[in-house]
Chain A
Amino acid sequence: GENVEQHPSTLSVQEGDSAVIKCTYSDSASNYFPWYKQELGKRPQLIIDIRSNVGEKKDQRIAVTLNKTAKHFSLHITETQPEDSAVYFCAVSSTLGRLYFGRGTQLTVWP
Chain B
Amino acid sequence: GAGVSQSPSNKVTEKGKDVELRCDPISGHTALYWYRQSLGQGLEFLIYFQGNSAPDKSGLPSDRFSAERTGGSVSTLTIQRTQQEDSAVYLCASSFSQGAAYEQYFGPGTRLTVT
Contacts and interface: CB of A to CB of B under 8 A. Distances in A.
Interface of A: 1, 31-32, 34, 43-46, 49, 51, 89, 93-104
B26 to A, nearest CB: 13
Contacts, number: 50
Given A89-B42, A98-B33, A103-B42, A44 B106 contact: yes
**Which bucket holds chain B's interface residue count?**
20 to 34
Given A43-B91, A43-B108, A89 B101 contact: no
B66 interface: no
B99 A95 contact: yes
A43 B101 contact: no
A43 B107 contact: yes
Q: What is the interface of chain B mostly: helix, strand, loop, or mixed?
A: loop
18 contacts: A32-B100, A32-B101, A34-B103, A34-B104, A43-B106, A43-B109, A45-B106, A49-B103, A51-B100, A96-B50, A96-B97, A97-B101, A99-B45, A99-B101, A100-B45, A101-B43, A101-B45, A104-B43
Contacts of B70: none
